[in-house]
Amino acid sequence: MGEGSGYGKVILFNEHFVVYGIPAIASAIGSKTIAKVEQIEGQGWSLDDDRPATPGYKKEKMEHQRDSIERILKAAAIDVNQTPINIYLVGDLKAASGVGASAASCAAIARALSAEFKLGFLDEKINEIAFEGEKGYHGTPSGIDNTVATFGGLIWFKKGVPNIMEGLTLKQPVEIVMGNTGIVANTKEAVAGVRDRKQKDPVKYDRLFGAANELAKYARSALVSYDLETVGKLMDKNHELLQSIEVSSTELDFLVEVAREQGAYGAKMTGGGLGGYMVALTPGEEIQERVARAIEKEGFEALRTEIGV
């Protein structure tokens, strides 16, 4: 049985903007998806998905997941008609919108296939295959999710030909809280919505995209110098930009405010938006726990984890 894993992720700056070549910053978090692949009798491929999940997520994403796995198999040149397989998904990363669940599963499956069929894929190849798998979920993915899922760490990412990816180093890991709205979001719809609105109002969107581009440069400097107060303020500003391109939601905005009121250095939505997760910068276990408990008191799930792992 071949086995592989993929990191969960949090986008700290510039989701959605990244699709248009604006730099984004993302980090792996301390939760993973694990895939196991074994050759079986029968035909084609089968799937056992035992990941913890937001209610409704797996059903909502079933067609996307099927498309994704077909793409992964094609990219890895695995002929399941000749060699039938079963794919088994587990791990401590929740299958939910906003934590890179799809990308983590894509990277994990690619690694498990490589291990089972002794293909010897290096991380660069795993990342390519995971990117192909992400197309099943996102249509036109930026590439940032699968990159973090594959390589881990803190990453500066700019979409292009080729993509620019630079590893950034934090002085030490930083505690964060990720609050789950419990809403299963359709990332394809969110991305398409931004594209449509951008075409209808290019002047407004050019201004917002320019602001996001400048913000990314300041955020990179603040992270590298470990100026966490500035990082938090920039996260707040990034959330305002994401609100302006209409990818936040009432629930996300509410959880962002709860986190700020409880002492988070900054907070914003993360991922595709319209639901899914938000993230709060909460250096130190005391602030982290206070913010997490406040989110839970409001009836939402809170993930306590770290960036820079």
CB-neighbour burial class of residue 165 (10 A; exposed 0-12, middle 13-18, buried 19+): middle
CA–CA separation, 120 vs 263, rounded Å?
47
Which sequence spans correspond to the domains of the chain? 2-168, 174-307
- When pLDDT is averaged across residues 7-24 and rounded to a whole number, the result is 94
Lowest mean pLDDT among 117-126, 135-144, 294-303: 135-144
Query: Is pLDDT above 80 for 309?
Result: no
Query: Is pLDDT above 90 for 144?
Result: no
Specify whether the CB–CB gap between 301 and 182 falls below 8 A.
yes
For the stretch 17-30, pLDDT in tens is: 998 999 999 999 98
Backbone angles phi, psi at 178, to 5 degrees: -115, 120
Query: Is pLDDT above 90 for 149?
Result: yes
Please identify which residue in the block is written with the tokens 């002047």.
Answer: 203
Give the pLDDT confidence score for residue 132 in this predicted structure.
97
Give the pLDDT confidence score for residue 97 in this predicted structure.
78
Q: Could you say which of 50, 79, 123, 145 is catalytic?
A: 145
Please tell me the pTM assigned to this model. Answer: 0.85
Give me the half-sphere count of Cα atoms (radius 13 Å) on the Cβ side of residue 193.
Answer: 17
For the stretch 219-268, pLDDT in tens is: 999 999 999 999 999 999 999 999 999 999 999 999 999 999 999 999 99
Give the pLDDT confidence score for residue 101 in this predicted structure.
93
The CATH homologous superfamily to which domain 174-307 belongs is GHMP kinase, C-terminal domain (3.30.70.890)
Give the pLDDT confidence score for residue 131 in this predicted structure.
96
Give the pLDDT confidence score for residue 139 in this predicted structure.
84
Give the pLDDT confidence score for residue 142 in this predicted structure.
79
Q: Tell me whether domains 2-168 and 174-307 share a fold.
A: no
For the stretch 267-296, pLDDT in tens is: 999 988 999 899 999 999 999 999 999 999
Distances (CA, A) of 71 to 135, 187, 258: 8, 18, 40
Fold for domain 2-168?
A: Ribosomal Protein S5; domain 2 (3.30.230)
Give the pLDDT confidence score for residue 76 in this predicted structure.
98
For the stretch 102-134, pLDDT in tens is: 999 999 999 999 999 999 999 999 999 999 999
Q: In 3D, which of 129, 166, 156, 140 has the Cα closest to residue 37?
A: 129
> Average pLDDT over the chain, rounded to whole?
95
Q: Is 236 a catalytic residue?
A: no
